[in-house]
Structure formats: C-alpha cells, structure tokens
Chain A
Amino acid sequence: MTLSVRLRHDFAGFALDVAFEAPPGVTVLFGPSGSGKSTVLNAVAGLLRPDHGRIVVAGEVLSDTARGVFLPPHHRRLGVIFQDGRLFPHLSVRQNLRYGRWFAPRTARPAREAVVVEMLGIGALLDRRPATLSGGERQRVAIGRALMAGPGLILADEPLSALDDDRKAEILPYLERLRDELQVPMLYVSHAMPEVARIATTVALLDRGRLIRLGPAAEVLSDPAFAGRGREAGALILATVTAHHPDGVTELSAGGLPLFLPTLPAAPGDRLRLRIAAADVMLAQGVPQGLSALNLLPGTVDGVHPQGDAVLVRLATPAGAVLSRITRRSAAQLGVRPGAALTAIVKSLSHAPQDVGTPLH
C-alpha cells in the first residue's frame, strides 16, 4: 500500500471525514470545489494539521494524532507540484531542479538529472530564469523539481488548472510518462474529468468532505451514478493498436472487439487509454447495417441512471463498460432495462484529441 489516509477535521461550516488506502500508481482525488480534495492533499503535505487522523506513506507514519506524531513538511520527503508552479524566481531552471537535492537525505535515491531533463524536454531551458518561460514550460520544470527531490510520493495540486487547453495537452503526456516509465506514486487533485481519465489509476470521489466512491479509474468513470453531466460523463476503454490502414484509419482491439479511429501516432502493439464521452454513443437493438459509424460494440445493459430528461445507460461489452446518454423517450422505445441486449455505436471521429492517452509501448 503506497498511501493510507484517515482524516477528520472540522472547519467553520464544513467537516472533512475521509479514510482510504491508495494502491500504487496515480490516485486522483476528484470532486467539485469545496469537496475537500485540496484539504486532504494539504494534510498529506503537512500544510494542515488535522484534528484527528493518521497518514502513512510507504510505511512511514507522517502524522498520527493518537500518538502525537506530526512530521513537519520538510521532513516528509514528498514532491509537491503546485497549481501555480512556484519556481524560485532568483534561481535558474537548473538551480530550481537541483534545489531539493541539497536537502535530500543520503538514503534517498533522487531521479537522475539527465533522465528528468530528457523526459520533460527541458534541456534547452536549463540556464534560463523562470520569468522567461511560458506557462507550460514552467509547469514542466516544476514537475522536474518535485521529481529531483527523490520523493516517496508526488503530490499534484491541480497542476494543469492554471493552463489553457493547448498547454494542458502539452503537459499531460509528461505526467503519463511519470506514471508509466518512472512509476512514481502520485496523489493528484483534479476537477476536470478528461484529465482524470488520462492520468488516474485509482479514483477517489469526494463530495462535501466525504469519500463517496473509491476504485479503479475505468470502474468509477463508467458508473452512471457518479458520472458527471454534459461531456464530463464518459467511460474509459483500454485498447491495443493492431494496424494502420492506408485510408487514414487506425485499428485497435479491446477485449477482442475491433475499434477504428482516425490515424493515431502509435505503433502496432502499443496500448492506450481511450475515453468515450457518453454524449457520443448511440444505442441500437440488434446489429444495425449500413451505418457510417465504424465502431459497433454489442453488450448488455447493467446500469440505468436518470439524469433530468436524459438517461445514462451503462452497457457491459467485451471491450469494457461503455456509457451512453440518451433521451427518456429513446430509452422507453428501445426497452432499456438491466439485462437488455443492445449495441453501442460510436463514430470514429467523435472523440476529442485529449481523450486519447499517450501510447505505452
């Protein structure tokens, strides 16, 4: 177990009460603002002293109110990536990167500078001052600085929320490489669903200070009861690239079913995450013929959740669970109920670029 958190803390008009154990990988604390996710992160970082609780990272007790243990932030060996970067303005990029190493204990094995610099693509920036960097560059350096301190756990407090969509798309692949190549455990606060779909191994859903759901990303995201509204709702599918076709289509395979997408920058054999928004999925009885849509996923309904005038339907398919948002009228006409056999139809072109994860070789 990478991280174990048990917390109870009273604020004026708000009480936080959560307990969870996070497996290795990236654990995303997800929820609306005011749900307490940043508070949990601050408690792990040592910036907040909880009323009650116990926090253990990789076997080390950071805080235990029952035994009066409270490690100050600088003894916790955590790498924090802040929303606003917080690079030291008087130091060069190289000095910023090396800052944490001055204070790392001898036993720590910090990431090698060359590896970090190469991975984050910041070699050309090393002699520059933070003020001369773009927002995306600054955040890449901030990630590198946290890594170089040799932390046992990385804490990321909405590291992308201050960036525009293009910059987000620039940074996300680096965070994925952190997870997949360096395998650094991470606690990640976010309120953006596409980001969660890309980065999360485990999702912890928070609402008004309570933990309402904890589980593997694909499972939590495809749960119609917790899926968000609008384009927020969408299921996660893990697929393997099988072939590139000359007519501009990449073929993937998920659970034995073929999927077709516009050409992806990935090699056959690469695995990647695919988020399919519920609004982009149609449902049909039987297997329809003569459609322009290339992706047909037959399955069984195993979840129905009304959302205003619409209905969120979860369809279990061999490729994984798929969510579809349809009107109440369509649901009635199709006879949507648990156990019904239907086919999910997904247009190849309907996915947004940020919904495709970085390929993993």
Chain B
Amino acid sequence: MPAWLSPEEWTALRLSLRVALWATILSLPLALLVAQALARWRFPGKGLLNGLVHLPLVLPPVVTGYVLLLSFGRRGWIGQFLDQWFGIVLAFRWTGAVLAAAVMAFPLMVRAIRLSIEAVDPRLEQAAGSLGASAPWVWATVTLPLILPGVIAGAVLAFAKAMGEFGATITFVSNIPGQTQTLPSAIYSFLQVPGGEASAARLAIISVGVAMTALILSEWLARKAARRVAGQ
C-alpha cells in the first residue's frame, strides 16, 4: 500500500482495478462476436442489436442500474435463475459491480472493434478462403491479427470506462466499503463527510491519471491498427 493513501482509499482503488479488469476480460469475447456480427453479417434484427448495445451509452446510468437490479436482483428473473441453479448472487456483491461496469463499457469496446473490422479489406479474407481456409480459420489467421491493435485499444478504453463507472454501479450494488465501493463511489462518499476533501482529491487525481493514460494508449493503438491494416 502506498504511504500517501489511507486504507479505505487503497481498498477502493484495488476493488476498482479488480472490477474493471474482470469487466474487460469477461466482455471481450462477446464484444468480438457482436462487433463481427455488426460489421460483416446480415441478419434480421441487426438494427435492434445495434441499438441495444449502444443503449447504455445514452441512457441515464441510474436507469441502466435499475434495469440490472430488476433483472439480475435476487427477485429478478435472471437473478432468481442464477441463484437457484448456480448459487450466483450478483446484487450488492463485487461481482455485480463487474456486471454493471461491463454493461456500461460494452458499447465503447464494440465500437472500437467494429471500426477496425470494417477497415479490414474483405478481399483479403476472400483470398484466404481461396487458399483453403474455412471461415473460422480465416477469422483467426487474417481478421484477428489485423484487428488486434484495435481490439486492444477497445479493451483499454473499456477498462478506463469501467474504472469510472458510478451511476449504474451504485444503483445496482450500492456503496458498501470493501464490497462494492469502487473509486467513484468512494469519492462520492468522501465528499459527503466533513474533512473528506483531501481523500476525494487524491482519488480524483488517480482517476484522471487512469483515464488520461487509457485515452492516449488507446489512441496510439488505434493508429497502429490503421497502419497495420494498410500494410506498413
């Protein structure tokens, strides 16, 4: 623990890092699939899927959190199913914070991956097919390597977004120190008590640092992706 952070601050930071990491890792495979579908496939309901994915981006986060509570809460239909069959409870647990962060960061990740898939020349994939590669192999040996920097850029951006998620998280899993109190929730709490400004400021600076680093890194990786697709 760094000397300049109090135990509560340190706990909140560690929890946020853990939540953001899991949210990024768990949503990545689904984001790849959805991005591929939106970029390349034609199917009924594509517009609906696109809208659904982007909804958390424009909806008030508190509404997203409420919807999560209704569906994944103990009495929600998915929540009940998960509890009865797998013994998984998300509401008011750190795992619920992971779900909230993942849902909120998902549109950013899908957007970044989708853009890099669209930049891949489909004629290269056709050429791979003509050389005997089946569709999954074409994806694994041509599409994926070409979009990899874009995927990483999307993941970095999603990680930063997950680190900063507040509205949906506090609505769905509340603000329990050591359990669901992430960095933004902690800042919010510190601001509610007298003398908490210094702690809030320290955590705010960390938030800005994480966000800035992620933006620069993701921008740099996106440019690298563009160069790679252009073959340089």
Contacts and interface: CB of A to CB of B under 8 A. Distances in A.
Interface of A: 45, 47, 72-80, 82, 84, 86, 88-90, 99-100, 102-104, 129-131, 145-146, 149
A129 B132 contact: no
Contacts of A82: 123, 127
A103 B124 contact: no
Contacts of A80: 127, 130
A159 to B, nearest CB: 13
Nearest to B123: A86
B229 A89 contact: yes
A45 B228 contact: no
A88 B142 contact: yes
B93 to A, nearest CB: 42
Query: Which 8 A-B residue pairs are closest in the complex by CB-CB distance?
Result: A89-B231, A103-B132, A100-B131, A131-B231, A86-B127, A80-B130, A73-B129, A90-B145
B225 to A, nearest CB: 11
A74 B146 contact: no
Interface string B124-138: 101111111111010
Contact of A84 (B123, B130, B132): B123
Interface residues of B, number: 23
Interface of B: 121, 123-124, 126-135, 137, 141-142, 145-146, 228-232
22 contacts: A45-B130, A73-B130, A74-B129, A74-B134, A74-B135, A80-B130, A82-B123, A82-B127, A86-B124, A88-B124, A88-B142, A89-B146, A89-B228, A89-B229, A99-B128, A99-B133, A99-B141, A100-B131, A102-B132, A102-B141, A130-B231, A131-B230
Contacts of B131: 74, 79, 99-100, 103, 145-146, 149
A220 to B, nearest CB: 28
Given A82-B127, A149-B132, 5 more contacts: A74-B129, A89-B230, A90-B142, A90-B231, A131-B232
A68 to B, nearest CB: 21
Contacts of B129: 72-74
Contacts of A89: 124, 146, 228-232
A47 B126 contact: yes
A145 B124 CA distance: 13
Contact of A74 (B121, B132, B231): B132
B199 to A, nearest CB: 47
A216 B230 CA distance: 42
A157 to B, nearest CB: 10
Contacts of B231: 89-90, 129-131
Contact of A100 (B132, B146, B229): B132
B232 to A, nearest CB: 5
Nearest to A142: B127
A76 B133 CA distance: 11
A145 B130 CA distance: 11
Contacts of A100: 131-132
A145 B135 CA distance: 19
Contacts of A74: 129-135
Given A90-B146, A129-B231, A131-B231, A104 B132 contact: yes
